[in-house]
A and B are shown apart, each in its own frame.
With several copies, the nearest count.
Chain A
Amino acid sequence: MDHLNNQSPVDLAVNIGGIQLANPVMTASGTFGYGREFAQFVNLDAIGGIVVKGISIEPRAGNPPQRIVETPCGMLNAIGLENVGLERFIAQKLPYLRSIKCRVVVNILGDSVEEYAYLAEKLSEHAGIDGLEVNISCPNVKKGGVAFGTNPAMAQAVTEAVKKHSTLPVIVKLSPNVTDIAAMAKAVEAGGADAISLINTLIGMAIDIDKRRPRLANIIGGLSGPAIKPIALRMVWQVANAVSIPVIGIGGIGTTEDALEFLIAGATAVQIGTANFYDPGAADTIISGLTTYLEQHNETSLINLIGSLDTGVLS
């Protein structure tokens, strides 16, 4: 555990359903490539964990352009789950990830429960992977394309299948596009999830008023960035209060203050997403910012902070 060495008397280490992280700062799937892209901007060895771009069994080409649109304090993306596929991930991306010290979580996606199960099984065979993150925001083609993540029973089924076929800790990543996020969280907890991460993107849209066409070729896309932070924080708080497994907070986190809000709300770790695009050193900045905050507040361990929100009578 050499990566836990720390000059500061402050202990940032956390455990996410069996994955021991040197600190709670991870990078979110689809926003940090396969790590290497950021080697010049952050100390990859010092990050709590990297969640790689979502992997499917076969490579996917993704959606036609235009794939991204900037929105007020946010962005829409409709990448269409472009990825190199399982085989090339293992052959071409995993070796580099293995060479860095931080924890590596592989985000997986599929069109059916079977595909998730297959990915879980295959990835469990490889060293250098510390956990799986199950992206359930994908459409279930066998159920008419309804997203796994919008139906508690389907979400539970995927979770069970992945757990059954994998020896790795399993994080299930929730979609925010639901009426009752706590119900979704309870379903995946019942399905055996070791941890929950949230939120994935909110579904949004943008229109080119001169062409009177959607800006995204896919018409709709996923909204991310600071704009969604208040929604993400609310959901993380609700989920942390609804389940007893660890929760990873995601959504608009770009500063130490943002990360602290999620930790105080009950997240055991956080993931930095869109912020990596405009501030590629964000993870580093936040890790040292957390240390400073703890020192200033005379806390020796970050654990004390988690879920420390005081909701007693306010005036």
Chain B
Amino acid sequence: MTSIQENSRIKSAEQITEDIFRLTLHAPMIVSLAKPGQFVMVKTSSNLDPLLRRPFSIHDVSADGDLLLLYKTIGKGTTLLSALTQGMSVDLIGPLGNCFTYSGNHDVCLIGGGMGIAPLLFWARHLSSGVTKPGTHRVLLGARHRRELQPVATAFQSLGYNVDLATDDGSLGHHGFVSQLLPPILPSVQGVYVCGPTPLMQEVANQCHEIDIPCQASMETHMACGLGACLGCTIHGSDGTYKHVCKHGPIFDAKEVLWTI
């Protein structure tokens, strides 16, 4: 797939909670190439510390070339990113990696936990503009607290999706893990897309595996280049080989991934 380096301009930098941010970048060239599930490598500093770019899923795109990131500050790079303000520029490489795939004309379920929600909005937008109506698909989203979940869930709702929610503290929706919302829904869908913490993805992969429903999972790993050059971004495949997340992924058929490690 084609990817490019683009110097984007920050159109808005919103702080959603203490540590969650949404960045709207004007990056028309990358947006014109982007497919749901792909990611960008972001330069978070103009100096050499931190040295490497940071990978972020493409959260959403707009028709006029805006690219959205949804991210949580966890360390050096994301903290620097959160200090940027409107009008500043951010150097991006993307779109990178493969994308979610939909084999058409049936109902699916999107499950996201925490920042794993990020790639699902773009995917939901894509699905809603396609052959099926949003109403027939299911969206399950989970997070720690309502403050974190509400603003993100709204975006799915405005696409016309019926969204079921779960929070760790019960402040919104189901009190518990979002994966607990899946069992009653699973028999009625023909495909699942999951992104979130590994335990969530593993649990969802297991549930799908048991009743043989196809499941695509978006994987995270440490990356140096995002370009397939460093060979650093490995995960264990179920076939005993290593998979490179930036090249073979980030979207994997859940069956290809060795979840037990």
> Interface of A with B (CB < 8 Å)?
30-33, 37-38, 40-41, 53, 61-62, 64-70, 72-75, 77, 79, 82, 225-226, 254, 274, 276-278, 280-281, 315
Q: Which residues of B contact A30 (CB under 8 A)?
A: 230-231
Interface residues in B90-120 (C-beta closer than 8 Å to A): 93
Structural contact, A225 and B242, CB atoms closer than 8 A: no
Question: Given contacts A61-B241, A315-B236, A315-B261, are A67 and B231 in contact (CB under 8 A)?
Answer: yes
Give the nearest-CB partner of A71 in chain B: B51
Tell me which residues across on chain A come within 8 A of B51, comparing CB atoms: 70, 73-75, 225-226, 274, 278
Q: Does B53 contact A (CB under 8 A)?
A: yes
The CA of A164 and the CA of B261, in the complex, are separated in Å by 46
Contact of A280 among B93, B221, B223, B231 (CB under 8 A): B93
A67 to B233 alpha-carbon distance, docked (Å): 7
- From B42-50, B126-134, B167-175, the one touching the partner chain is B42-50
Tell me the nearest residue of chain B to A61, going by C-beta.
B242
A32 contacts which of B5, B229, B261 (Cβ < 8 Å)? B229
Q: How many residues of B contact A (CB 8 A)?
A: 30
Neighbouring A residues of B229 by C-beta, 8 Å: 31-33, 37-38, 276-277
Per-residue CB contact flags for chain B residues 204-228 toward chain A (1 = under 8 Å, else 0) read 0000000000000000011111011
- With contacts A74-B51, A278-B53 taken as known, whether A38 is within 8 angstroms of B227 at the C-beta atoms is yes
Interface pair B221/A37, CB less than 8 Å apart = no
Chain A contacts of B224 at CB under 8 A? 68, 70, 75, 77, 274, 277
Question: Is B163 on the interface with A (CB-CB < 8 A)?
Answer: no
B28 beta carbon closer than 8 Å to chain A: no
For chain B, residues 216 to 261, give those with C-beta under 8 angstroms from any C-beta of chain A.
221-225, 227-236, 241-242, 261
Contacts of A73 in B (CB 8 A): 48-49, 51
B234 and A62 contacting across the interface, CB-CB below 8 Å = yes
Which partner residue on chain B sits nearest A68 by CB separation?
B232
A-binding residues in B (CB < 8 A): 2-5, 43, 48-53, 93, 221-225, 227-236, 241-242, 261
Q: For A280, what are the chain B residues with a Cβ–Cβ distance below 8 Å?
A: 5, 93, 225, 227
Chain B residues with CB under 8 A of A74: 51
Task: For the complex, give the distance between the alpha carbons of A110 and B122 in Å.
Answer: 46
Of A53, A82, A280, the most chain B CB neighbours within 10 A belong to A280
What 10 new A-B contacts, CB under 8 Å, besides A38-B229, A72-B49? A33-B228, A38-B227, A65-B221, A70-B51, A73-B48, A77-B230, A79-B232, A82-B231, A82-B242, A277-B52
- Give Cα distance in the complex from A124 to B18, angstroms: 57
CB distance from B195 to the nearest CB of A (A): 19
Query: Shortest beta-carbon distance, A59 to chain B, in Å?
Result: 10
**Beta-carbon contact of A70 and B52 below 8 Å:** yes
Given contacts A62-B234, A64-B236, contact A40 B3 (CB under 8 A): yes
CA distance A32 to B4 in the complex (A): 16
